[in-house]
Amino acid sequence: MWQTWVSSYRLYFQMVSASIRAQMQYRYAFFMNILGWAMSYAGTAVTMWVMLHSFESIEGWTLWELIFLFALAILSWGVCVLFFFHFRSLDQYIVNGTFDRFLVRPIHPFFHFMAMKFDIGAFGQLLFSVLALSIAFWKLELSWGFVKWAVLFGAVMGGALIQGGILVLISAMAFWTTRSERFYWVVMFPTKSMMNFPLTLYPRLLQWFFIFIVPFAFVNYLPALFLLEKSHPSYSPLWGTLSPFVGLIFFWFCFRIWMAGLNRYKSTGS
Amino acid sequence: MVQELRMYLEFSRKAFQRSAAYRFDAWTRLFSNIIFLFMWGFIWYGLYAGKEEVGGITFEAMLSYIVISQMLQGIHGAGTPLWEIQERVRSGDIAMEMMRPYDYPTRTLFSDFGNILFHMLTAVLPLYIVLFWLIDLQTPTSLFQWGIFVLSALLGYLIRYSIELTFGLFTFWLIETGGVEDIFYFSISLFSGSVIPLWFFPGWLETVARFLPFQGIFFVPNAIFVGQIQGEAIVSALLIQVAWLVICFGLLRWVWSKASLKIVVQGG
């Protein structure tokens, strides 16, 4: 058992370093990409600033609190993109018949598919979110003890697992419908955009949906309540500390669905 | 001339039929449009927070602004997106288009008309008619206002087409287009007034936006729809749109003529 873990671990790093080298071949494109991503998130932040210029606050969240909420989501999204973003294009492998190669090798297909790419384009998300969080941290004059830093770390890990889980779920759709990328753009991308704003803007039923069914609320809203010491009559800030556990459970669940889909998979031939 | 028009209309007809074959795409696009409508509706509801009006704009007018803006965005969504133009240039497919006896920019426009007509008739209009019927929203009060709105929306689409295609053609000179894409999408989401009307901008930023062509894409038609541009202001707003259309279209033709000379086919 221990030995398989060690050898998988080594293999993962070998595959990841190959993937990074491949992506670094186009160095100019790589830097432009990172800059582009960072800029487009900065664009959303500017939109928030314009919006709050005349209105001051939304649902009791001021500009920098809102930026904090947004940047927290992007930070965990960046971590998630590193490992899981390429899952959305599983449909291409299935349609082209190239998915079979993941099945004939002596490593776990999920692990193999995951290790295929380590998307360093995510440095754009990380660059933006770390900068934005630092500025928000300074503007809001926060000072945190150990507990809060731990909760932040937990929120980033949990958030990456939750969003990664959704990507895995979307990719599993390809086993049944031979489509997945489209679901990302049509369902996950708009939903993710909704979560850049305080959850309580939306109707109660939807809030529960994002807490108990697709736990997006644990990515940024609930942890931000705890970290910024905001209170809300319906949700205790303590819920935000649960992010890593929710992330683990949700990810495991999505992984099981992916495996169920895999068992159902029949090659399209070529 | 008539014959040429007939040829281009044939492209519209074919595009319409192709859209009909890929209905799944139209409906999924509509789905994400609904989510964004929902999101911006609740954001503005939250911003108003029970206030009847802010800066002379009632909540009802603001909500109507967002709904009509999302409808126009839904319609625009059926046009050729920027990345597709970039992909055509990058893959060299555009060389094939240039060899054929038609003008590529015009051909794209007419194909888009076909796609948009299908998407509009089968997805966007039915949804938004129901929405306007269900929710208490502000609509134009006279036939004249309706007519001006449609005219302005059409001008808006043509401005967008000119700008988007011009940005797409920049791919001829650039190997990496990430930056161009971001400038385009940022401008089209903020300066066009698609989600925040220009009158809520900070003063200096509003001045900047007023000197840019993007306002003509969504802001002017939306504002006409909710009656915020009235009387003589309508004439000047339409004139601004026409002026920007002339400039952007001229720029497009100029860039296109340069691009045709600059063709570099990568790969074989």
Chain centre to alpha carbon of residue B43: 22
Q: For residue range A205-228, what is the model confidence (pLDDT) as tens digits?
A: 999 999 999 999 999 999 999 999
Contact B126, B132 (CB under 8 A): no
Q: Which residues of A touch B178 (CB under 8 A)?
A: 29, 32-33, 35-36
CA distance B192 to chain A (A): 12
The confidence score (pLDDT) of residue B239 equals 96
Whether B186 contacts chain A with CB within 8 A: yes
Q: pLDDT band for position B266 (50/70/90)?
A: low
> What's the pLDDT at A1?
63
Q: What is the largest CA-CA distance in chain A?
A: 61
- Give the tens place of pLDDT for each residue, B138-197: 889 999 999 999 999 999 999 999 999 999 998 888 766 667 788 888 888 899 999 999
- Amino acid at position B155, single letter: L
pLDDT computed for residue B263 by the predictor: 64
Q: Which residues of A touch B84 (CB under 8 A)?
A: none
Q: Does B22 touch chain A (CB under 8 A)?
A: no
Distance (Å, whole) CA A58 – CA B47: 5
Nearest to A190 among B35, B175, B205 (CB): B35
According to DSSP, the residues that pair with A62 across neighbouring strands are: A57
- Please give, rounded to a whole number of angstroms, the shortest distance from the CA of B202 to a CA of chain A: 7
Among B43, B190, B202, whose Cβ lies nearest the Cβ of A197?
B43
Q: Contact at 8 Å (CB) between B133 and B125?
A: no
HEC-encoded secondary structure of chain B: CHHHHHHHHHHHHHHHHHHHHCHHHHHHHHHHHHHHHHHHHHHHHHHHCCCCEECCEEHHHHHHHHHHHHHHHHHHCCCCCHHHHHHHHHHCHHHHHHHCCCCHHHHHHHHHHHHHHHHHHHHHHHHHHHHHHHCCCCCCCCHHHHHHHHHHHHHHHHHHHHHHHHHHHHHHCCCCCHHHHHHHHHHHHHCCCCCCCHHHCCHHHHHHHHCCHHHHCCHHHHHHHCCCCCCHHHHHHHHHHHHHHHHHHHHHHHHHHHHHHCCCCCCC
pLDDT score for B268: 44
Q: Find which of A53, A69, A173, A206 to mutate to test the B interface (most B CBs within 10 Å of its CB).
A: A53
Reported as a pLDDT band with limits 50, 70 and 90, residue B265 is low
Residue A97 backbone zone (phi > 0: left; psi -120 to 50: alpha; other: beta): left
Residues in chain B, overall count: 268
Contacts of B47 in chain A (CB under 8 A): 51, 55, 58
* Helix, coil or strand: residue A215: coil
Q: Going by C-beta distance under 8 Å and a sequence separation of 6 or more, which residues neighbour residue A242?
A: A158, A218, A222
Report helix angle B178-190 to B82-91, nearest 10.
160
Residue of B nearest to A33 (CA): B178
- CA nearest neighbour of A71 among A7, A136, A122: A136
Provide the residue count of chain A: 270
Are residues A47 and B189, on separate chains, in Cβ contact within 8 Å?
Answer: yes
Residue B203 in contact with partner chain A when CB distance is under 8 A: no
The string of pLDDT tens digits covering residues B192-230 is: 999 999 999 999 999 999 999 999 999 999 999 999 998
Residue whose pair of structure tokens reads 């055509």 in the numeric block: B88
Q: pLDDT averaged over chain B?
A: 90
Taking an 8 Å cut-off on Cβ atoms, the answer to whether A43 and B189 are in contact is: yes
Q: Which of B28, B31, B205 sits opposite A50 (nearest CB)?
A: B205
The reply to whether residue A194 touches residue B35, judged by beta carbons under 8 angstroms, is yes
Distances (CA, A) of A30 to A124, A131, B179: 10, 20, 12
Assess B189–A contact: CB distance below 8 Å, yes or no: yes
Q: Could you tell me which residue, B115 or B52, shows the higher pLDDT? A: B115
Does A58 sit within 8 Å of B46, measured CB to CB? Answer: yes
Q: For residue B57, what are the β-bridge partners?
A: B54
What are the tokens at B85? Answer: 């133009």
* A67's tokens: 């930026």
Q: What is the mean pLDDT of residues B39-53?
A: 91
Q: What is the pLDDT of residue B96?
A: 83
Residues in chain A where the model's pLDDT stays below 70: 1, 267-270
pLDDT of residue A253: 96
Which stretch of DSSP H or E encloses residue A62? strand A61-62
Q: How many Cβ atoms sit within 10 Å of the Cβ of residue B246?
A: 12
Residue A187 to residue B179, Cβ atoms within 8 A:
no
* Nearest residue, CB atoms, A40 vs list B39, B42, B182: B182
CB contact under 8 A, B178 and A191: no
Of residues A53, A54, A202, nearest to B42 (C-beta): A202
The 8-class DSSP code of residue A270 comes to -
Do A257 and A169 meet the contact criterion of CB atoms below 8 Å apart? yes
Return the pLDDT at B81. 87
Whether B202 contacts chain A with CB within 8 A: yes
CA dist A212 and B15 (Å) reads: 43
The answer to whether residues A156 and A244 touch, using CB atoms and an 8 Å cutoff, is no
Give A142's DSSP letter.
-
**B220 and B153 in contact (C-beta within 8 Å)?**
no
Question: How many angstroms separate the CA atoms of B26 and B117, rounded?
Answer: 11
Report yes or no: B204 at the A interface, CB cutoff 8 Å. no
Nearest CA in chain B to A203: B42
Q: Do A76 and A220 form a contact (C-beta atoms < 8 A)?
A: yes
Per-residue buried b or exposed e for A60-72, using 16+ beta carbons within 10 Å of the residue's own CB: ebebbbbbbbbbb
* Least confident piece of the model among A193-202, B38-47, B83-92: B83-92
CA A67 – CA A49 distance, rounded (Å): 9
Min distance B75 CA to chain A CA atoms (Å) = 16
Interface of A with B (CB under 8 A): 28-29, 32-33, 35-36, 39-40, 43, 46-47, 50-51, 53-55, 58-59, 182, 185-187, 189-191, 193-194, 197-198, 201-203
The widest CA-to-CA distance across chain B, in whole angstroms, is 63
How far apart are the CA of B196 and the nearest CA of chain A, in angstroms?
7
What's the rounded Cα separation, in Å, for the pair B2 and B18?
Answer: 24
**Would you state the structure tokens that stand for residue B9, as one six-digit string?**
């209309």
Number of helical (H) and strand (E) elements in chain A, helices listed first: 12, 2
B70 has pLDDT over 70: yes
State which residue of chain B sits closest to A184, comparing Cα positions.
B32
Distance between CA atoms of residues B50 and B59, nearest Å = 9
CA nearest B32 in A: which residue?
Answer: A186
Q: CA A252 to CA B267: how far, in whole Å?
A: 44
Contact assignment for B32 to A46 by CB distance below 8 Å: no
Residues in chain B within 8 Å Cβ distance of A221: none
CB contact under 8 A, A191 and B35: yes
Q: What is the rounded distance in angstroms from the CA atom of residue B129 to the CA atom of residue B186?
A: 29
B23 Cα to chain A: minimum distance (Å): 14
ipTM for the predicted complex comes to 0.89
